[in-house]
Amino acid sequence: MDLSMRWLSEFVEIDTDAHTFAEDMTMSGSKVEGYQTEAAEVSNVVVGKVLSIVPHENSDHLVICQVEVGKESPVQIVTGATNVVEGALVPVALDGATLPGGVKIKKGKLRGVVSEGMLCSLGELGLTTHDFPYAIEDGIFLIEEECQIGQDIHDAIRLNDTCVEFEITPNRPDCLSVIGLAREAAVTYKKPLRLHEPVVKGSGGDISEYLRVTVENPVLCPRYTAKAVKNVRVKPSPLWMRERLRASGVRPINNLVDITNYVMLEYGQPLHAFDAKYVEGGHIIVRNAHEGEVIETLDGVERKLNSSMLVISDPQKAVAIAGVMGGENSAIMDDTNTVIFESANFLGSSVRVTARGVGLRTDSSARFEKGLDPKNTYKAVMRACELVELLDAGEVVDGIIDVDNSPKEPTVIRFEPEWINRFLGIEVPTEEMVDILTQLGFTVEGDQITVPSFRGDVEHKADIAEEIARFYGYDKIPVTAIRGVAKAQLTPIQKFERTIHQTLQANGCYEVMTYSFISPKYYDKIGLPESSPLRDSVVISNPLGEDTSVMRTTTLPSMLEVLSRNYNNRNASFFGYEIGNEYIKKEGQELPDENAQVTIGLYGDCDFYTLKGMVETLLERLHVKTFDIRPETEHPTFHPGRCAVLFLNDVRIGILGEVHPTVLQSYGIGTKAYLAKLDVNALFSLADPVVEYRPLPKFPATTRDLSLVCNEELPIIEIEKTIRASAGSHLEDVKLFDVYQGAQIEAGKKSVSYSMVLRSAESTLTDAEADAAVKRVLKALEKMDVVLRA
């Protein structure tokens, strides 16, 4: 809402500068976004009177003017304009003047003749013919206002208003008006609010001769008020009105249109003016639109309606979309004789849905949708008629149409000053509270507060507390600490996730953050079969675009995107991880399961075992102790020979592997890449964080190295498992230290070397004991065709 300070001053006296005003209003709850003085860039431009015009000796199109500018002697100005006449009042930019756009005027010579300044057009002052309809576009602005020679142009043509831009919150539609803001300003500065009661003289006749109104849906239209004006005279509005509209950011059009805009700005009540002769049978019906009904609105666009929308109609056709925009078919034209001013109240939610439905948000709908005061319709239409008479724009027909079904019971709230003080933590005397409320338009009687009809947002004593707080001053509320014991801590799962972050970062992984929504096409990119249940995503019904249209059921594509972007940005190597959710639909649940996953992605300086080592380190750090790893050949995203799944107590908790070449290709990754994904909650539930101290060994360990030969297909882990199972209680550790295939080994076989660490807690192990353990191991290995290398 752009507020003209001059307009405001009609209702309340403000004697601070704009900067302080902006600060004060912001702190009392009307947020000021900024302010601007009109034509601030224009300086040293005054009103001049053209005394004489003589031709320029050296030019056909230039003339030399002597212009009186209120100084001892007239100034000489050379101009090329053709509309200047002797005796005309013109804006003169004197030597050193500035104009919009950073233009500077300097004394100079034009074809050998001294020119001490410039005569200005409207455009050169930053104005248009909308602001001064009597002037011409391309010529000097010949001023018709009452003004003095030598007067500063700002004052002379009232180009001296300040416009303050407010951000009005949706709960305060009453502040989308000069009067509403004036009320706030009056309370802020403890100044009286000077309201005006419109007075209409009238010119006889009766509105019933022109119009009758039927409201078919009083829920959507609680009140419909209308006045008629006959013998209208369409012409430009006077300067004062144009000037206020301009300062409020509204372009002046003609007196009738300007009056509706003026009243909307002043009262916050949108008015609609239409030509009575196009209303069939003089009968207005406020009804729901027919399904599929079409109306061409004033902006020349055809709008398709549905039956939830309210229209203003005659018996034949709709003439306006209620509260949104009028129809082209009833617009005011030059030949209009009788105008109907409609000042109605429509249900906010209905206007909101309608405006959205037809894709048209207007100044009018923006006000209606917040819920306006039904009591305002009468005053607003009377004010419009008052202005019609003031502007001599037509003759106001007597009588008024007022179909009023609006609720009449005001909101009453108990006045509890002690509660308010306690709630806010302040001590404001009751009288001060009463003063604030009374000034705001509330009525306080005993312990009852009656809320004014224009304050639909006030329903509860907490709302009253806010009114008190705003004008008492938020900055005066003291600063205290919350009482009570503070005993917060991170939950076990939060600490668990923290450990995941720390461990993976220590392993060289950068944390990444990706969108939770993806394109369903990404499922193709990672090779998911058509039948995969993972394709059944939670779908966003109104997505921004396909790329962000479904909630991911797997984090793999998100990580692949990250790898791809880094690869294509020529980062040589990238290790990344993310803890993020997968969203899995569940039968019989309205909301999907949101399963947190830790996803790791690597490429560059790494291989499968880098990734596996990282996963193993992570699991160790998380106290996930006994997990099982099995080859996985079926997952479409992974290399069938380089993929494994992790099981813990037969629960599948994750997958890791090299990315399938086809998938790499679809992501444009030109190098091998590796992905792992582990279910955070599964890990958490299976982790055993209990740590028990074991005394450090007192006796030395004995080491035995085993070089074995086995079938090349045998997974190494089987050997290790067997060693662990058969070596006996003295086995402390088994480490693989070499795997070899080549010249010395028979084809189809591989050599595998282990180092066994044996130790007893009771004594130094004898060679015999160690050898016995080795023997047991070899015997067990023999059964699976694993033998000592010759």
Residues 336-365 that bind other proteins (CB under 8 A): 348-349, 352-353
Q: Is 304 or 414 the residue whose CB approaches other proteins more closely? A: 414
552 binds other proteins (CB under 8 A): no
Taking the complex as a whole, the smallest distance from the CB of residue 425 to other proteins amounts, in Å, to 3
For other proteins, the closer of residues 35 and 262 by Cβ is: 35
Residues 143-172 interacting with other proteins (rule: CB under 8 A): 169-172
Count of CB atoms within 10 A of residue 609's CB? 10
- As to burial, measured by CB atoms within 10 angstroms (0-12 exposed, 13-18 middle, 19+ buried), residue 490 is exposed
Cβ nearer to other proteins, comparing 199 with 540: 540
By CB under 8 A, name the one of 516, 519, 595, 722 that touches other proteins.
516
Site for other proteins contains 185 (CB under 8 A)? no
Decide: is 490 part of the binding site for other proteins (CB under 8 A).
Answer: yes
Tell me the closest approach of the beta carbon of residue 176 to other proteins, in angstroms: 12
Report the SS3 class of residue 112: coil
- Closest by CA to 199, choosing from 327, 348, 8, 390, is 390
- The CA distance from 88 to 580, in Å, is 76
Q: Is 564 in the site for other proteins (CB under 8 A)?
A: no
Q: CA distances (Å), 495 to each of 498, 499, 627, in order?
A: 5, 6, 21
What is the DSSP track for 568-582? HTT-S-EEEEEEEEE
Q: Which stretch binds other proteins (CB under 8 A): 36-44, 142-150, 281-289, 513-521?
A: 513-521
Residue 120: how many other CB atoms lie within 10 Å:
25
Among 240, 474, 609, 737, binds other proteins (CB under 8 A): 474
- Rounded to the nearest 5°, which phi and psi values hold at 314? -105, 180
Interface with other proteins (CB under 8 A), residue from 359, 446, 478, 748: 478
User: For residues 544 and 690, which CB has a smaller minimum distance to other proteins in the complex?
Assistant: 544
By CB under 8 A, the count of residues binding other proteins is 87
Q: For residue 667, how many other CB atoms are within 10 A of its CB?
A: 20
Which residues are bridge partners to 414 per DSSP?
448
**Using the rule CB under 8 A, which residue among 429, 543, 668, 689 binds other proteins?**
543
Name the one range near other proteins by CB under 8 A: 201-209, 296-304, 308-316, 560-568.
560-568
Nearest distance from C-beta of residue 468 to other proteins, angstroms: 9
Is the CB of 408 or the CB of 570 nearer to other proteins? 570
Region 267-296 residues binding other proteins, contact defined as CB under 8 A: none
For residue 309, how many C-alpha atoms fall within 13 Å in the half-sphere facing its CB? 30
Of residues 573 and 764, the one with the C-beta less far from other proteins? 573
> Which residue lies nearer to other proteins by CB, 32 or 384?
32
Q: Quick one: which of 8, 250, 401, 504 contacts other proteins (CB under 8 A)? A: 504
Segment lying near other proteins (by CB under 8 A), choices 84-92, 585-593, 645-653, 774-782: 585-593
Nearer to other proteins, 661 or 670 (CB): 670
Q: Does 538 bind other proteins (CB under 8 A)?
A: yes
Least Å distance between CB 514 and other proteins?
A: 6
Q: Is 414 among the residues that bind other proteins (CB under 8 A)?
A: no
Which residues, in sequence order, are CB contacts of 263 under 8 Å at separation 6+?
269, 271, 380, 381, 383, 384, 387
Coil, strand, or helix at residue 168?
A: coil
- Sign of the Cα torsion 251, 256, 261, 265 reads positive
Q: Which residues of 514-523 are buried (b: 16+ CB within 10 A; e: fewer)?
A: bebbbbeebb
Identity of the residue, 26 or 741, whose beta carbon is nearer to other proteins in the bound complex: 26
DSSP-derived pairing of the beta strands 627-631 and 550-551: unpaired
Residue from 463, 628, 712, 769 that binds other proteins (CB under 8 A)?
A: 463
CA distance 595 to 654: 13
Residues 638-677 that bind other proteins (CB under 8 A): none
Q: How far apart are CA 428 and CA 472, in angstroms?
A: 8
Neighbouring CB atoms inside 10 A of 101's CB total: 8
**Residues 9, 18, 31, 44: which binds other proteins (CB under 8 A)?**
31
Measured CA to CA, the distance from residue 380 to residue 267 in angstroms comes to 6
Closest distance of CB 418 from other proteins, Å? 13
Among 189, 278, 423, 740, contact with other proteins (rule: CB under 8 A): 423
Distance of closest approach, residue 478 Cβ to other proteins, in angstroms: 5
Q: Are 132 and 251 in contact (CB under 8 A)?
A: no
**483 forms part of the interface with other proteins (CB under 8 A):** yes
Window of 82-90, 309-317, 368-376, 731-739 that interacts with other proteins by CB under 8 A = 368-376
Within 693-752, the residues that bind other proteins by CB under 8 A are none
Apex 720 CA angle, 717 and 721, nearest 5:
85
- Closest approach, Cβ 517 to other proteins, in A, equals 8
Contacts of other proteins in 592-631 (CB under 8 A): 592, 594
Span of 52-60, 84-92, 330-338, 498-506 interacting with other proteins by CB under 8 A: 498-506
Query: Smallest distance, Å, CB 698 to other proteins?
Result: 34
Q: Which residues contact 146 (CB under 8 A, 6 or more apart)?
A: none
Determine the Cα–Cα distance for residues 435 and 502; give it in Å rounded to an integer. 59
Instruction: Give residues 371-400 in contact with other proteins (rule: CB under 8 A).
Output: 371
Q: Which stretch binds other proteins (CB under 8 A): 59-67, 84-92, 121-129, 456-464?
A: 456-464
Q: How far is the CB of 646 from other proteins (least distance, A)?
A: 21
Reference 83, options 50, 106, 112, 108; nearest CA is 50
Closest CA to 116 of 124, 105, 132: 105
Hey, which bits of 257-355 come out as E strands? 272-275, 283-288, 294-296, 302-304, 310-313, 318-321, 325-326, 339-345
Pairing type for strands 212-215 and 283-288 reads parallel
